């Protein structure tokens, strides 16, 4: 299989997220994020993903998308050895850096196979049931993970993500805008910035005028930040 290219050439367009920010966006404890990106102190297994940045405290957008994938499978009871082995196998066989950030439209069958193989090797019954059963079941799992994610048709890598697509379909994370901070679609001011100013000012219209956005944008940003807190 042809290898997918990295989703960005300019590191400033890769998105920057601290461990605490990633944990908040994914609803995962920081200790788990640190373990997945740096490895655990009591284990020699090492990181699960191959990150874009050397800084141990920072992850890129594509790193974040892979962490989201890991978080979902961990919540389903899939073991870390299985996830780690599947990620390693996919990186090697597909010649990609971020196999868990790829669209199922292109990689659903291949990802199912690597997880089935990893589950067999690690004797993981949960992952085996998920990956060795009907193709439709795995496809449904992938579609659930991909909710809110838009993929680049050129390389099949995640391009943008709407973290709460049902409640806030207009709030999007785009690594090319505001270093990946959530923004209301069509604007470039992070929702967190609008929220902080709103708390200080207490006046939606005044904040909207200051940042040259509509009052509706400010209201959406405030609601999102309150829910996502």
pLDDT in tens, 180-229: 999 999 999 999 999 999 999 889 999 999 999 999 999 999 999 999 98
Give the whole-angstrom CA distance, residue 71 versus residue 78.
Answer: 10
Give the model's pLDDT for residue 57: 84
| pLDDT value for 202 | 85
| Nearest to 62, CA basis, from 116, 141, 4, 1 | 4
Output the pTM of the full model: 0.91
CB 33, CB 47: distance < 8 Å: no
pLDDT of residue 9: 58
Q: Considering only CA atoms, which of 4, 176, 229 is closest in space to residue 95?
A: 4
Domain residue ranges in the chain: 8-158, 162-229
Q: How far apart are CA 138 and CA 114, in angstroms?
A: 12
Percent of the chain with pLDDT over 90: 77
pLDDT score of 11: 65
Q: How many of the other CB atoms lie within 10 Å of CB of 186?
A: 10
**Domain 162-229: CATH class, spelled out:** mainly alpha
Q: Closest Cα to residue 180, out of 5, 3, 7?
A: 7
């Amino acid at each position: 299989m042809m290898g997918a290219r990295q989703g960005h050439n300019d590191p400033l367009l890769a998105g920057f997220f601290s461990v605490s920010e990633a944990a908040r966006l994914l609803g995962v404890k920081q200790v788990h994020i640190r373990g997945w990106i740096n490895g655990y102190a009591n284990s020699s297994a090492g990181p699960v993903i191959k990150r874009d940045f050397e800084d141990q405290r920072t992850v890129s957008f594509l790193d974040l998308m892979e962490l989201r994938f890991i978080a979902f499978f961990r919540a389903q009871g899939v073991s870390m050895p299985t996830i780690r082995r599947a990620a390693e196998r996919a990186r090697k066989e597909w010649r990609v850096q971020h196999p868990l950030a790829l669209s199922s439209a292109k990689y659903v069958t291949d990802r199912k196979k690597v997880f089935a193989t990893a589950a067999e090797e690690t004797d993981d019954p949960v992952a085996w049931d998920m990956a060795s059963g009907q193709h439709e079941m795995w496809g449904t799992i992938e579609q659930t993970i991909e909710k809110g994610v838009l993929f680049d048709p050129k390389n099949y890598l995640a391009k943008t993500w709407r973290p709460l697509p049902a409640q806030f379909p207009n709030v999007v994370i785009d690594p090319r805008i505001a270093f990946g901070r959530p923004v209301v679609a069509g604007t470039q001011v992070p929702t967190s910035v609008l929220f902080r100013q709103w708390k200080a000012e207490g006046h939606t219209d005044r904040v909207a005028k200051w940042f040259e956005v509509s009052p509706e944008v400010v209201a959406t940003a405030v609601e999102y930040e309150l829910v996502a807190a």
